[in-house]
Amino acid sequence: MIDWQIFIVCAVLLMLGLFATGMPIFLAFLTLNLAGLYVLSGSFKGVLLIVNSMYDTSTSMSLAAIPLFILLGEILFRSSAVNVVFNAVDAVVGAVRARLYIVSVVLSTVFGALSGSAMAVAAMMGSSLLPEMWKRGYDRRLSMGTILGGSSLAPIIPPSVMAVVLGILAGVSISGLLVAGIVPGLILGLVFFGYVVLRVKLKPSLAPPSTSDAALPASVRMSLALKALPFVSIIVAIMGLIIAGVATPTEAAAVGCIVALIICSLFATLDMGKLLEALRATARTTSMIMIIMVCSVSFSQILNMSGVTTSLVQAVITLDWSPVLMFALLMGLGFVLCMFIDQIAVMILLVPLYKPIIAGLGFDPLWFWAIFLINVSVGNITPPFGYTLFTLQGVARDAPIQELYRAALPFIVLYAVMIAVFALLPGLITYLPSLM
């Protein structure tokens, strides 16, 4: 049998090579699985193993949460719910210096929770808030940085499609992984908030002076805030059902979609046309994610057949490196790969390799995978090929990509620092899931 080190190196190189050709991710993983099967068995007679694996994955009830969470975000985005929340946050912040920086961070956090899509948040904020920030004299680089940093919270703060995908791939509780993202996501939002306030305090020229016309009467501010409550309560209700153990993520997502339909019909501008658009967009996105997962899930079985899984664990244990160093290496590899390839592809490639390693090292799976999710989320804004960077450039056409790179760097550093904090203080991640 082929040596396991040669097998895994060749598999990874083949995968990266297929990605480099522009081949769709699902075809790349399907090709890798078939090639691995042929190398190990000398024929394609075992192809039924891959077919059965694809069928079992496609019929898993856990995957039902993915289209439901996507539909929930589409309903909220295609109605005027985002405008209501925007007005509420803007009114509550009031007339303070760095006001629009704060609005940017808060809105990105809230919209990330509502949609679960970093690119959708960046596109919306880049086309609506960013031009206004530039027009009023806010620093270009910091303005883009707040949007990039805030939008990358979308996969972390539940409900999150990426958390569902990672939970299925890693074999950990999806409910636990969703809940584990609440505290880290909110803390990261507060860190970004504190960062922009401190930057403006140290260098006032980064933001124009506050004006009295930004301060609305208290009654108006309260009215705008109350209008946003029904939409925010949808997310709170979903997570409440999951934390209380009343509903599974799939059931909670279904309830959230029904409630969103009612609320957006009554308090927003949802109509049949917008609902059909939301359903079409949901079908397209879900199809893309599902076909990738169906075609890639056999990768872990190929690794088991080749002996990579067992040999890799033994090799790691033999190294006798400290858990801290191993943790840093595991996170570092994911971070580097996310600079070049899609989040889901990175998860599918690394999760089967990491699962036996973290078991051998004795890491808490929920703690590790929650931090891993945060880590790969940073890849969205990491040069040179972060997807969110190019999304924001698409709507902010006069911003060169080099300027976006520089805008993202401070927030990447903040993410790295907070990942270290979450690693050193695991209770920040595991406390809420422990209450379930």
pLDDT in tens, 172-187: 999 999 999 999 999 9
Highest mean pLDDT among 213-217, 363-367, 389-393: 363-367
User: With 70 as the cut, is the pLDDT of residue 352 above it?
Assistant: yes
What's the confidence (pLDDT) of residue 302? Answer: 77
Question: Residue 201: is its pLDDT beyond 60?
Answer: yes
Q: Is the pLDDT of residue 80 over 80?
A: no
| Nearest-angstrom CA–CA distance, 64 and 161 | 11
Least confident of 110-124, 208-222, 350-364: 208-222
Contacts of 363 (CB under 8 A, 6+ apart): 323, 327
Confidence of residue 211 (pLDDT cuts 50, 70, 90): low
Give Cβ neighbours of residue 325 (< 8 Å, ≥ 6 apart).
Answer: none
Q: Which H helix or E strand runs over 431?
A: helix 427-434
Let me know the angle formed at the C-alpha of 381 by 101 and 163, rounded to the nearest 5 degrees. 100
- Of all residues in the chain, the percent with pLDDT exceeding 90 is 19
pLDDT > 80? residue 92:
no
- The pLDDT value recorded for residue 365 is 94
Which residues neighbour 332 within 8 Å (Cβ) at sequence distance 6 or greater?
Answer: none
pLDDT at 218 over 80: no
User: What average pLDDT does this structure show over 201-217?
Assistant: 74
Confidence of residue 422 (pLDDT cuts 50, 70, 90): very high
Chain-wide mean pLDDT for the chain?
Answer: 83
Mean pLDDT of 367-387: 88
- DSSP letters of 86-97? HHHHHHHH-S-T
pLDDT of residue 217: 75
Q: pLDDT digits over 133-167, tens only? A: 888 888 999 999 999 998 888 889 888 888 888 99
Q: Are 355 and 299 in contact (CB under 8 A)?
A: no
Q: Which of 15-24, 182-191, 244-253 has the highest mean pLDDT?
A: 182-191
Between 43 and 212, where is the model more confident?
A: 43
Could you tell me the pLDDT band of residue 412, with boundaries at 50, 70 and 90? very high
- Say which range, 20-24, 258-262, 400-404, has the weakest mean pLDDT: 20-24
CA atoms within 13 A on the CB side of 209: 2
pLDDT band at 42 (very low <50, low <70, confident <90, very high): confident
Check pLDDT > 60 for residue 213: no
User: In whole angstroms, what is the distance from residue 387 CA to residue 367 CA?
Assistant: 26
* Contact present, 256 and 193 (Cβ < 8 Å): no
- Residue at token pair 């088991």: 304
Q: How far apart are CA 366 and CA 364, in angstroms?
A: 6
Helix (H) or strand (E) holding 199: helix 182-202
